[in-house]
Structure 1
Amino acid sequence: MKPKVIEISLLFIFFIFSLDLFGQDLRIVSISPSTTEIIFALGLGDFLVGVDSFSNYPPETEKIEKVGTFSQPNLEKIISLKPDIVFATGLEQNPTVARLKRAGLKVYTVDPANIKELFQNILEIGKITQREREARKLIFKMSKDLSKIERKIANIEFSQRPKVFLEIWYSPLITCGKNSYIDEMISLAGGINIAQNIKRKFSRISQELVIKESPEIIIISYMQNQERAREFVLSRYGWDSITAVKKNRVYADINPDLILRPGPRIIEGIKELYKRFYGENFD
């Protein structure tokens, strides 16, 4: 058995043996918007005693105690809430996760590289919190919606699919590589990620490479202002030669949370991408 599989198995066994602590008084803290959305989708919103300040969906999160930002959670505040378990994500939150564990708290990290791993995370959260039935129902619904999307995209010839650049941040210029769930979203929506050969999940990319690839679609994932986004892109030297810019196919009108949060609304994000790629609603 591979070391990573053994590690995951031992971690899961640890949580299983801890389930006797999780009764009607279960206390949950989530320091990641994506895990907050998963917890609510499993019907566990009433057990949330703390969330990060970026957790803004569903609207019920507004009434929950805030425990700092996504990047800088307040450890003292989290500890004071006496959670049975803390849900977090990886990458930027890894140092926080380590500190929480050193403080004796149980922490479960959700950091899926693809949709299959997201489904696994949802199921594990369901098992940990005694909501396995709800988790399986959610996964079934999401899988069913995905199948519909895949059937529709299967009819589009690969040569007819648009080249896409999805901009996660502008300074430095950040995009998604082939090992990311966002790359998979682009593919499922019928697009071709121009950064699919970049091995890292999220990576810097040079403006020269974007210009060379000349994507037909540009998605700005951090800005919801269509006109401003186009002006922003046009201000970059050489970008006026890019197909997406010349054909006015620079989009900044998708709710970033549908793309940047690996959670239950990821299906909506794929449908929104499809709409920008092909100029029509999915349904």
Structure 2
Amino acid sequence: MSKKQLTGLSILFIILVILAGGWVWLVTQKDGHTASSPTKRIIVTTNAQAQVFDKLTIPLVGVPTPGEQQTLPKRYATLPQVGNHVAPNLEKMSSLKPDVVYLDSALVDDYQQKLASDHIATQTLDFSTLDALKSSINTVGDQYNKQTEAKQLVKQLTIKPVKLASRPKVALLMGMPGGSFLIGTQHSYVGDLITKAGGDVIGAGDSAYTNLNAEQIASENPDVIITMAHAMPDNVFKSFDALFAQNNWQAINAVKNGHVYQAKEPIFGMTANLNAPKAFDQLKTWLGN
């Protein structure tokens, strides 16, 4: 084979290598966009989610409408608000044309049917307990290539459970507008924190909240009562004050000894959030630890 032919073959080989490399790059970019690249148009639906995405520096196109005692991160302060689980603005969500809407696993029913009918993709995050929150942070970090930020955030949420030989009995009451209430179990976010803080939460069952009447609570005779509000906190806490003034409640150790406390937002919440270490420290104080 002549020198000229060898030169021609070498040039052809180089061209083929370049073309093949370009094809591999194109396929990689395409696959990366559909499988591993961060989604660009994201909506979150709870304030706790917004706080997490802010710490992971992930851009959003829509955020929840904050509650009375809540504030949005500065990064998202001017973004369109899409309501909350009490009054979700599903039409606003659709108008923002999101690639994905993040829902809290406990609030899926408030959103999913409508969003599915509009062909909007959803993903659930479990913030039911502190451990679940930390797991969800790592999940989001993996999805958006924010593993380092996620690891740092999870480290900040690490708490050291209190171990006591004698644990005070605690009643966690979740008040509703209108005067009714539920009992939070150890499977609720705050109930789980109470357990970690050294308390023994009354109320059995596998669910986060259960029904327990005043007679049953009196028979348990808790040492500490912690109250929360599902909505309309001013009205709910006033209702609790009136309730505890009744004779049957006055005989309970927690009321008799003045160990009744109000767990208010933003430190406390229905689901786990980034204020968990502050909530944990407050619970330890209330429990005398």
TM over 0.5: yes
The alpha carbon displacement at 1:254 in A equals 4.2
Pairing 1:177-192 to 2, within 5 Å after superposition: 177-192=185-200
Bigger fraction of residues in helix: 1
- Structure 1: 5+ residue stretches without partners: 1-14
Pairing 1:1-283 to 2, within 5 Å after superposition: 17-20=34-37, 22=39, 26-44=40-58, 47-54=59-66, 56-60=70-74, 61-143=76-158, 146=159, 149-150=160-161, 153-154=162-163, 156-157=164-165, 159=166, 161-170=167-176, 171-195=179-203, 197-222=204-229, 223=233, 228=238, 231-236=241-246, 238-252=248-262, 254-255=264-265, 257-278=267-288
Q: Aligned AA for 1:209?
A: Q
Secondary structure of 1:238 counterpart: helix
The alpha carbon displacement at 1:135 in A equals 1.0
Secondary structure of 1:185 counterpart: helix
Counterpart CA distance in 2 for 1:240 and 1:168 is: 19
CA contact (8 A) 2:266 2:275 kept: no
Deviations 1:84-140 (A, max 9, x none): 221111334324123213322221212344333222211111122222221122112
Counterpart CA distance in 1 for 2:96 and 2:132 is: 30
TM-score (norm 1): 0.77
The alpha carbon displacement at 1:83 in A equals 1.8
Q: Aligned AA for 2:97?
A: K
CA contact (8 A) 1:41 1:264 kept: no
Q: Aligned AA for 2:222?
A: P
Cα 1:203–1:33, aligned 2, differ >3 Å: closer, same or farther? farther
Q: Aligned AA for 1:100?
A: L
Counterpart CA distance in 1 for 2:110 and 2:244 is: 38
Counterpart CA distance in 2 for 1:142 and 1:200 is: 24
Q: Aligned AA for 1:53?
A: T
The alpha carbon displacement at 1:179 in A equals 2.7
Looking at CA atoms only, which structure, 1 or 2, has the larger radius of gyration? 2
The alpha carbon displacement at 1:72 in A equals 2.7
Secondary structure of 2:62 counterpart: strand
CA contact (8 A) 1:220 1:229 kept: no
Counterpart CA distance in 2 for 1:167 and 1:94 is: 24
Using the aligned pairs only, state the percent identity: 23
CA contact (8 A) 1:230 1:250 kept: no
The residue aligned with 2:10 is none
